[in-house]
Structure 1
């Protein structure tokens, strides 16, 4: 910097005053322990989950019309995989028929079915929930519950209403996560390449 530039700079900066010193540090507090009310709410929520069948909640249930298709896909599921599921292109290795079940019976049967599918390494299954055309007081009650429960189950990657030959809007194709054994088998197969 030349002396003329330096003088010009100092002239421009002559009326600048330093900022007042203030304590600009953020105070970091240790997280407070939960209050008694918070602990009570947590305990109540945990008890409610246990009584509802492994955490499946009916809170926020939206009724679905009997003929409306239902669908769900978790983030990370490839578009092509979901498209093939939606079109019924995967082999269906298991089937669950929920016709004639009460809502509570259906919940337990669905949970047991998914657990069994995981144990015997089923990836794609068919669940027949029916359309609920004859249920009272609401049409499509069981279908609505199934559509509400499945996204709450971590093993479920995706589902979509079935093609007409498999039950149409009265059934769904269900895509499940791979078992730990299948995942390790895949890793080994891909490492050998």
Structure 2
């Protein structure tokens, strides 16, 4: 024979909250007395410094832009330089010529990701050092719905793919391309030597 399981205080409090909201099927039946007194609600936490008054239409003193996530260009420019500084300078000025390129224009994310993986790993196995990944600047696809869409989905997604396995082990540096190689619609990908 099974022993009855007793409810913990947390379970009992949860059950009491559910029972308070329930509508009885038989209103004539007497109410069951509760076993333990209900826990007292905790008082709300008060802030020591009150929020300043704000009027509708008043401008804020916020120094940061509305987009909390920095742009792809900002994130890549703040990334540490993992390659030779002299070669990095030549690459960012467009002085180094990419040995191969892939154009992801018009592809969906499901099509572009395997193409990018095959291209990067294949280029590394062929001994290439600098390749160009063209994403395009993207189209404004915001349809005005409640969830905003990013401008240039592949342009934002490709750097994330390049930072994840298996590609991150093959890559030394990623930076936006010079204007003559596509500008903000393309990325230079500097590859590690294949071992």
TM-score range, shorter chain: 0.5 to 0.7
Gaps in structure 2 of 5+ consecutive residues: 1-68, 143-148
RMSD of equivalent CA atoms: 2.3
TM-score by structure 2 length? 0.53
Q: Which SS does the other structure have where 1:121 is aligned?
A: coil
Gaps in structure 1 of 5+ consecutive residues: 1-61, 181-193
Which residue of 2 is the match for residue 121 of structure 1?
A: 127
Q: 1:140 to 1:119 in 2, by over 3 A?
A: same
Cα distance in 2 between the residues matched to 1:164 and 1:76: 22
How many residues in Structure 1 have an aligned counterpart in Structure 2? Answer: 117
Question: How do 1:59-98 residues align onto structure 2 when only pairs under 5 Å count?
Answer: 64=71, 68=73, 71=76, 76-98=82-104
* 1:175 maps to 2:190: yes
* 1:131 maps to 2:137: yes
Task: List structure 1 segments (4+ residues) > 6 angstroms apart after TM superposition.
Answer: none
Cα distance in 2 between the residues matched to 1:75 and 1:166: 20
Offset from partner CA, 1:67-124 (integer Å, 9 cap, x none): x566265664222222222112222110000001111211111100011101211110
- Pick from 145, 148, 156: which aligns with 2:157? 145
Q: 1:161 to 1:178 in 2, by over 3 A?
A: same
Greater relative CO (CA pairs within 8 A, separation 6+): 1
Cα distance in 2 between the residues matched to 1:75 and 1:95: 22
Q: Which SS does the other structure have where 1:90 is aligned?
A: coil
Q: 1:75 to 1:139 in 2, by over 3 A?
A: closer
Structure with the higher fraction of residues in helix conformation: 1
Contact preservation (8 Å) 1:69, 1:161: no
Cα distance in 2 between the residues matched to 1:172 and 1:130: 10
Cα distance in 1 between the residues matched to 2:71 and 2:86: 26
